[in-house]
Structure 1
Amino acid sequence: MLKHVSFITRDLSATLAFYGRLGGVTEKDILTHEGYRRGVLRLGEGKLQFFQIAGETPQVHPRWPEHIAVYVTGLRDLLPQLRAAGVNVTRDLQPSPGGRDMAFVQDPDGRQVELLET
């Protein structure tokens, strides 16, 4: 099940306002421990997440902030299976900010996919 999709933005305030006009409701506007401003909007049944990274543009920043997040069942068992299938694990199993098991992998096109235990 899809959890959220994340993008980089140059101006988080403008982005939150834009999606607010489309019916989005801002759930978070915080500073991450890496020093990035992070905004999360609920839009219908889904969520959009945006990172504003000072002094950098989407073209030059590493791709980790832009990702797809999905809920999975049995992540501890799934992760070794993905590795055995040749999937690149970019962030190993660790607790998410909410305390669930989490890991990041890359899809065949190099997009980051956050795997989050249900």
Structure 2
Amino acid sequence: MLKHVSFLTRDLGAVLAFYTRLGGVVEKDLTTAEGYRRGVIRLGEGRLQFFEVPGESPTPHGHWAEHVALHVVGLRGLLPGLRAAGVTVTRDLQPSPGGRDMAFVLDPDGRQVELLEA
């Protein structure tokens, strides 16, 4: 069972807001003993953990194969709101191989996020 996946971020506040908009719940937003800002988002049973580390820059690869995949409810209604908020859509709404609605967007750090209708 997956506990969490951890990433670096340039702007923890923007990342927490982005994943909250996708149905996540902020479990932690704190400063570690080392002085790093740490945030944890719960998405269903799993978690995404982000560290804002001064001087470190996340370098996500732009290829769609490297991505976070999330089940969301109401993707057709969610996607226009993401666009209006300035989120970049890299693959527009289309059927997934299994026939569900699917789209790819970029999170605030440029990380690919697959959105798949739950």
TM-score with structure 1 setting the length: 0.48
Q: Which has the larger radius of gyration?
A: 1
TM-score with structure 2 setting the length: 0.48
